[in-house]
Structure 1
């Protein structure tokens, strides 16, 4: 499995650039506006009542689905579905996007105290599960949409389901989920925007290398072979 050593360049026309950031910007604006807006707060109550009346049973899939796209992001290439970037660059974007997301989510949970729908704590805003899921969805989209658009679509479907189950389980308001989705997507886009600035200095790769998955009956491992 070989990769070209041509550096990744973010030469995106300004119109396309703006469109890329439109969706997360709308989600972030909605989430922030809902903090004080009576109409959007009423929508939060409406979604809560609708879900709790129809679906009183708790389904805790969201504890697992938040990580599903991250697992695919790191494993599909090893399974033969070639990613857009080699492993070191993917690790960089994955780590940076999660670091940005976690910092923003934790800061907002501490500075914007909003009670959870079930009354269990005042750290409802924003949804960390949803933010994590949408980081994974955007990572999957960035790496595989040129190969097959359905990888990214599946990632976003799972992330949306994660947000739904956070509301279904009475842990988050709709605005929490919208804000988490916006943070997750935007954090990943920022990580890819930063990639060209770092790859020439920090992410130099050998000219040729391959990743080979193996299983010995007990353990699964991923081996890196470098051709010098």
Structure 2
């Protein structure tokens, strides 16, 4: 493995590890609906998004992006599209663990509201920026490279998994962030995104879920009411290879 590819792996894994460590410091263990705004929680996603935004105009960062692309194309022949599936793994894990009887912080209704809010914030931000920036993908297939939607989805899910299960075991959150980091690496590996796209996507994903938790008490009270009902609501993301979207299900 070349030095540049090794540097890229170290860089991306450092992002995930640093994010996880700081999450522990900036967001204490709290009861459901008591997660309050903390400006320190904005530092990591803000830095990642800032790196990506600066990379839109910085010749040095663009040059670094190109060097990574050249190294990837030189050292890797076969593409692996596992990232089309791993992007959803952290989100799905929350529901899977609950189905196995390992309870998270919120019940089905509340976590579905949080997930839906996070996904709407994330996808809206990603799709808007893609339309505004019109950055060409490394493989030249289209002009919607910035930011990485796959990476944003994966990191939004990783933060969701972390928030729901950090009080059960930190290893659930660490695993989610590891999968999200791998998703970002595969986007570069498959010549679909630049490093700056992946960094910005990671920041947007983390921030979207944090904001979703901060907004949850207001959204629950305003749109769903305080009284518990027998209805259940679920919103699940999907990606068909070309389009990013979400499925909505309600049972009465």
Partner of 1:177: 198
Instruction: Name the residue aligned to 1:9.
Output: 34
The residue that corresponds to 1:145 in the other structure is 166
Partner of 2:242: none
Report the Cα distance in structure 2 between the residues aligned to 1:51 and 1:155, rounded to whole angstroms. 25
Residues 113-153 of structure 1: CA deviation (Å, up to 9, x unaligned): 11100111111111111111111111101100111000000
Match of 2:136 in 1: 115
Unaligned runs of 5+ in 2: 1-30, 231-250
> Which structure's CA Rg is the greater one?
1
Structure 1 segments (4+ residues) deviating >3 Å: 203-208
1:104 aligns with 2:125: yes
Q: Give how far 1:156 is off.
A: 0.5
User: What SS does structure 2 have at the residue aligned with 1:76?
Assistant: helix
What is aligned with 1:83? 104
Which digits, 9 at most, give the CA deviation of each residue in 1:34-86, with x for residues without a partner?
00011111111121122221112101100110011111012211211110011
Q: CA deviation at 1:21?
A: 1.7
Change (3 A) 1:203 1:82: farther
Task: Report the alpha carbon displacement of residue 33 of structure 1 after superposing the two structures with TM.
Answer: 0.4
Q: Which residue of 2 aligns with 1:189?
A: 210
CA displacement, residues 197-218 of structure 1 (integer Å, 9 cap, x when unaligned): 133452546499xxxxxxxxxx
> TM-score, normalising length from structure 1?
0.83
Q: How has the CA–CA distance of structure 1 residues 42 and 101 changed in structure 2, closer, same or farther, with 3 Å as cutoff?
A: same
- Relative to the length of structure 2, the TM-score reads 0.75
Work out the number of aligned pairs and report it: 200
Q: 1:103 to 1:11 in 2, by over 3 A?
A: closer
Counterpart contact for 2:36–2:214, Cα < 8 Å:
no
Higher helix proportion (structure 1 or 2):
2
Tell me the C-alpha RMSD between the 2 structures: 1.9
1:47 paired to 2:68: yes
Bigger shift: residues 46-55 or 174-183: 46-55
Return the match for 1:131 from 152, 168, 177: 152
